[in-house]
């Protein structure tokens, strides 16, 4: 496959996979496929080097960094999934309004059950104070 370059020259995609520079490819003329390595051979060479490099890493010291990277990756993926779900919900014209109405109904019902009497309000306040002590110290 041949792609144009910004300089106006054209370069074959296999030139990126070869060890030769573009200048040497232009001088040599047409190279046969038997002279250059195939993609699968180069892929196996690269994967072998990657595996060798990963084998030399001391993984016992990478625990906290791996956990942090994993947590960050999970958060990013979760945010992407949430965005897709919200965009899908917003795509339907009536669904966001229904979900908003459902939220108002749930909050109203919870408020009626938990904030109607002074005993219930004190119980909610005690629960909040206990959670605050548990998680914030």
State whether 105 and 126 are in the same domain. yes
Q: Name the token pair of 89.
A: 């919900």
Alpha-carbon dihedral sign for residues 82, 83, 84, 88? positive
State whether 68 and 120 are in the same domain. yes
State whether 34 and 85 are in the same domain. no
**pLDDT of 95 strictly over 80:** yes
State whether 49 and 106 are in the same domain. no
Secondary element (H or E) of residue 107: helix 95-115
State whether 24 and 66 are in the same domain. no
State whether 113 and 129 are in the same domain. yes
**pLDDT of 114 strictly over 80:** yes
State whether 105 and 128 are in the same domain. yes
State whether 122 and 89 are in the same domain. yes
Identify the CA nearest to 1 among candidates 9, 10, 12.
12
Which structural domain range is residue 34 located in? 2-55
pLDDT per residue as tens digits for the range 20-45: 555 544 544 445 444 567 778 888 88
Identify the CA nearest to 127 among candidates 104, 110, 109.
110
**pLDDT of 75 strictly over 90:** yes
Q: What is the total count of domains within the chain?
A: 2
DSSP state of 18: S
């Amino acid at each position: 496959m041949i792609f144009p370059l910004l300089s106006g020259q054209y370069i074959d995609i296999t030139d990126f996979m070869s060890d030769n520079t573009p200048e040497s490819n232009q001088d040599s003329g047409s190279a046969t496929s038997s002279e250059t390595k195939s993609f699968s051979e180069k892929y196996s060479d690269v994967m072998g080097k990657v595996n060798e490099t990963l084998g030399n890493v001391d993984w016992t010291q990478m625990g906290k960094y791996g956990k942090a990277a994993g947590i960050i990756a999970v958060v990013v993926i979760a945010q992407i999934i949430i965005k897709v779900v919200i965009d899908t919900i917003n795509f339907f014209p009536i669904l966001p309004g229904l979900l908003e109405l459902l939220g108002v109904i749930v909050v109203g019902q919870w408020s009626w059950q938990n904030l109607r009497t002074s005993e219930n309000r004190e119980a909610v306040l005690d629960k909040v104070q206990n959670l605050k002590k548990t998680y914030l110290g």
